[in-house]
C-alpha cells in the first residue's frame, strides 16, 4: 500500500517538475520514506555516522543533493540516492527536512556524558524487521502517559529499582518495541510481561518504546573484572565465543538500527537470567539464533564475569 502511494506521488512529482521548483512539505514527507532508514523518518539519524537533516537550511540541502547527483560531492551511499531525484523532488525533500524540529530524542539519551536531560516530547523512530525495515514513529509524550502501569516494576523513568527487572531507560526503541511484540505473540515467554502487553496496540508499544528510549539510564552497581572485560572485547577463540563488542558496541550501548540492545549499566541479575535463558533455549526470540549460538558456549563462570562487566559499563 505504502509503495503504491509512494510511486503515485513520484509520478505526480514528475508531472509537477515542469511547473515550479518550490518545495512542498507534504510531498517531501512522502518522498522522504526512502531516506528514513539512514536519516530517520523525521531527519534525526539513528546512526552516528549519518547526518541529521532536521532543521537544516533547505537551500543547503538542495545544493548537496544536486552535488551528489552531478558528482561534485562524492559519497557511495548518497550518489545512488540522488541519481533519480528531479529538481522538484530535491526541493520537496529539502522543504520537508528543514521543517522538522532539530531535537534529537535519541541523541539526548545516548549522549548523556555532560549534562543529562530527559526528553519529554518529540518522536523516536522504531525500525522493525517485519515488514522489512519498516519505520514507525513512537510519540514520547503519549508513551509517558501509557507508562504509568509499567512504573511499579520498571521505575517511572525506566530505571527499575529491583535487580531482576530490566532497566528500560536509554534502551533502543526498536529493540523495546520488538520485545513487547514478542511478549504479545508468545515468541518471548514471561508470565508477568504477557499480561502487561495483552491489551497494547502496536502504536502503544511504539509510544512506550519511544518514551523509555529517551530516559537517562542510571549507572549499574556491579564491578567488572579483567576477565569479563577480556571476554566482552575479545571473545574466546578456543571455545568459539564471538566477542560481544561486535554487536553490543564498545560502550555497551548496542546498535539501535540492527536491533542489538544496550547492556551497559543493566541490572546484573537480569542479564544473568537472560543469558541463561538463551543458553537453555527458553528464550528464543533472537533472530537467526544470534544469541543462542553464543550463549551455549558460555560456562557459568563466563556468564558471571560477563554480566558483572556489562553492568559496570558507564
Ligand atoms: C543508505 C543510507 C542513506 C540513505 C538511504 C540516504 N542517505 Fe543521505 N547521506 C548518507 C550519508 C552516509 C551521508 C554523508 C555523506 C558524506 O559523508 O559526505 C549523507 C548525506 C546527506 C546529505 C548532506 C548532509 C550535509 O549536512 O552535508 C543530504 C542533504 C542527504 N544525505 C539527503 C538525503 C535524502 C534526501 C535522502 C533520500 C532521498 C537520503 N539522503 C538517503 C546516507 C544515506
Ligand atoms: C509486575 C512487574 C512488571 C510490570 C508492571 C511490567 N513489567 Fe516489563 N518486565 C518485567 C519482568 C520481570 C521482565 C523480565 C522478563 C524476563 O525475565 O524475560 C520484564 C521485561 C520487560 C521488557 C524486556 C526488556 C529487555 O531488556 O529485553 C520490556 C521491554 C518491558 N518489560 C516493558 C514493559 C512495559 C512497557 C510495561 C508497561 C506496559 C511493563 N514492562 C510492565 C516485569 C514487569
Ligand atoms: C551477532 C551479534 C551478537 C553478538 C556477537 C552478541 N549478541 Fe547479545 N544480543 C544480540 C541480539 C540480536 C539480541 C536481542 C535478541 C532479541 O531480539 O530479543 C541480544 C541480546 C542479548 C542480551 C539480552 C538483553 C536484554 O535486555 O534482554 C544479553 C544479556 C546479551 N545479548 C549478551 C551478550 C553477550 C554477553 C555477548 C558476548 C558473549 C553477546 N551478547 C554477543 C546479538 C549479539
Contact 210, 217 (CB under 8 A): no
Task: Name the residue among 124, 102, 104, 126 with its Cα closest to residue 48.
Answer: 104
Nearest CA, atom 41, ligand 2: 150
Number of domains, the chain:
3
Say if residue 98 is in the same domain as residue 152: no
Q: Give the span between the Cα atoms of 63 and 115, in whole angstroms.
A: 35
How many beta carbons lie within 10 A of that of residue 174, not counting itself? 29
Q: Taking the alpha carbons of 260, 210, 263, 38 in that order, is the dihedral positive or negative?
A: positive
Say if residue 98 is in the same domain as residue 28: yes
How many beta carbons lie within 10 A of that of residue 135, not counting itself? 16
Of 213, 241, 267, the one marking the end of a domain is: 213
Q: Please work out, in degrees rounded to the nearest 5, the angle formed at the alpha carbon of residue 40 by the alpha carbons of 78 and 126.
A: 140
Say if residue 7 is in the same domain as residue 77: yes
**90 within ligand 1 shell (Cβ under 6 A):** no
Say if residue 129 is in the same domain as residue 177: yes
Say if residue 254 is in the same domain as residue 197: no
Task: Name the residue among 41, 130, 32, 133 with its Cα closest to residue 89.
Answer: 32
Of 76, 102, 128, the one marking the end of a domain is: 102
**Choice from 27, 39, 56 to test ligand 1 binding pocket (greatest atom count within 8 A of CB):** 39
**35 within ligand 2 shell (Cβ under 6 A):** no
Domain span holding position 230: 226-312
Is residue 107 included in any domain, yes or no?
no
Is residue 109 included in any domain, yes or no?
no
pLDDT at 18: 37
Contact 216, 169 (CB under 8 A): yes
pLDDT at 5: 46
Q: Give the span between the Cα atoms of 260 and 78, in whole angstroms.
A: 25
Say if residue 232 is in the same domain as residue 279: yes
Contact 303, 275 (CB under 8 A): yes
Ligand number nearest to the C-alpha of 85: 1
Is residue 112 included in any domain, yes or no?
no
Q: Hey, which residues does 236 pair with through a beta bridge?
A: 241
**Location of C-alpha cell 529493540:** 175
Say if residue 6 is in the same domain as residue 92: yes
**35 within ligand 1 shell (Cβ under 6 A):** yes
Measured from the Cα of 171, ligand 3's closest atom is 26
Is residue 290 included in any domain, yes or no?
yes
Is residue 86 included in any domain, yes or no?
yes
Which H or E run includes 248?
Answer: helix 245-248
Nearest CA, atom 2, ligand 1: 38
CATH number at residue 93: 1.10.760.10
How many beta carbons lie within 10 A of that of residue 13, not counting itself? 20
Is residue 218 included in any domain, yes or no?
no
**Location of C-alpha cell 563462570:** 301
Q: How long, in residues, is the chain?
A: 314
Give the torsion through C-alpha atoms of 162, 258, 50, 57, to 10 deg.
Answer: -70
Of 69, 102, 135, the one marking the end of a domain is: 102
With b meaning 16 or more CB within 10 Å and e meaning fewer, what string describes 15-29? ebeeeeeebbbebbb
Give the Å distance between the CA of 208 and the centre of ligand 3.
22
**173 within ligand 2 shell (Cβ under 6 A):** no
Is residue 114 included in any domain, yes or no?
no
Say if residue 169 is in the same domain as residue 84: no
Q: Hey, which residues does 124 pair with through a beta bridge?
A: 138
pLDDT at 106: 46
Residue 124, classed as helix, strand or coil, is strand
Q: Give the span between the Cα atoms of 28 and 95, in whole angstroms.
A: 7
Give the Å distance between the CA of 289 and the centre of ligand 1.
33
Peptide bond into 131 cis (omega under 30): yes
pTM equals 0.65
Say if residue 34 is in the same domain as residue 70: yes
Is residue 48 included in any domain, yes or no?
yes
Say if residue 91 is in the same domain as residue 141: no
**187 within ligand 3 shell (Cβ under 6 A):** no
Say if residue 145 is in the same domain as residue 87: no
Contact 261, 254 (CB under 8 A): yes
Per-residue pLDDT 10s for the chain (314 aa) are 445 444 444 444 443 333 358 899 999 998 887 777 667 788 887 666 678 898 888 899 999 999 999 999 887 777 878 888 999 999 999 999 999 887 644 443 443 334 456 677 888 888 877 666 678 889 999 999 999 999 999 999 999 988 889 999 999 999 999 999 999 999 999 999 999 999 999 999 999 999 999 999 998 888 889 999 999 988 898 888 888 988 888 899 988 877 889 999 999 999 999 999 999 999 999 988 889 999 999 999 999 999 999 999 98
Contact 100, 54 (CB under 8 A): yes
| Cell (9 digits) for 263 | 547492556
Say if residue 203 is in the same domain as residue 243: no
User: Can you point out the beta strands (E) in 192-247?
Assistant: none
Amino acid at each position: 500500500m505504502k509503495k503504491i502511494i509512494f510511486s503515485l506521488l513520484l509520478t505526480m512529482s514528475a508531472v509537477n517538475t515542469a511547473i515550479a521548483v518550490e518545495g512542498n512539505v507534504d510531498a517531501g514527507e512522502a518522498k522522504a520514506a526512502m531516506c528514513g532508514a539512514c536519516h530517520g523518518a523525521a531527519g534525526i539519524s539513528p546512526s552516528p555516522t549519518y547526518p541529521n537533516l532536521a532543521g537544516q537550511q533547505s537551500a543547503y540541502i538542495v545544493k548537496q543533493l544536486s552535488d551528489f547527483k552531478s558528482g561534485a560531492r562524492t559519497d557511495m551511499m548518497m550518489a545512488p540516492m540522488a541519481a533519480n531525484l528531479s529538481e522538484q523532488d530535491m526541493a520537496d525533500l529539502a522543504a520537508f527536512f528543514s521543517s522538522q524540529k532539530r531535537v534529537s530524542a535519541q541523541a539526548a539519551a545516548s549522549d548523556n556524558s555532560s549534562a543529562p536531560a530527559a526528553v519529554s516530547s518529540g518522536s523516536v523512530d522504531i525500525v522493525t524487521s517485519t515488514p522489512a525495515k519498516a519505520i514507525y514513529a513512537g510519540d514520547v509524550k503519549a508513551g509517558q502517559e501509557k507508562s504509568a502501569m509499567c512504573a511499579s516494576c520498571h521505575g517511572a523513568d525506566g530505571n527499575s529499582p529491583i535487580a531482576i527487572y530490566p532497566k528500560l531507560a536509554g534502551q533502543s526503541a526498536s529493540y523495546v518495541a520488538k520485545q513487547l511484540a514478542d511478549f504479545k505473540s508468545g515468541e518471548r515467554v514471561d508470565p508477568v510481561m504477557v499480561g502487561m502487553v495483552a491489551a497494547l496496540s502496536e502504536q502503544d508499544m511504539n509510544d512506550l518504546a519511544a518514551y523509555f528510549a529517551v530516559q537517562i539510564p542510571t549507572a549499574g552497581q556491579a564491578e567488572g573484572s579483567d576477565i569479563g572485560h577480556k571476554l566482552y572485547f575479545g571473545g574466546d577463540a578456543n571455545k568459539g565465543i564471538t566477542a560481544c563488542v561486535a554487536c553490543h558496541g564498545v560502550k555497551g550501548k548496542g546498535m539501535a538500527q540492527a536491533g542489538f540492545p544496550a547492556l551497559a549499566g543493566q541490572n546484573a541479575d537480569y542479564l544473568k537470567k537472560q543469558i541463561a535463558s538463551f543458553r537453555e533455549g527458553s528464550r528464543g526470540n533472537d533472530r537467526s539464533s544470534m544469541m543462542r549460538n553464543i550463549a551455549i558456549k558460555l560456562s557459568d563462570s563466563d556468564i558471571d564475569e560477563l554480566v558483572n562487566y556489562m553492568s559496570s559499563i558507564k
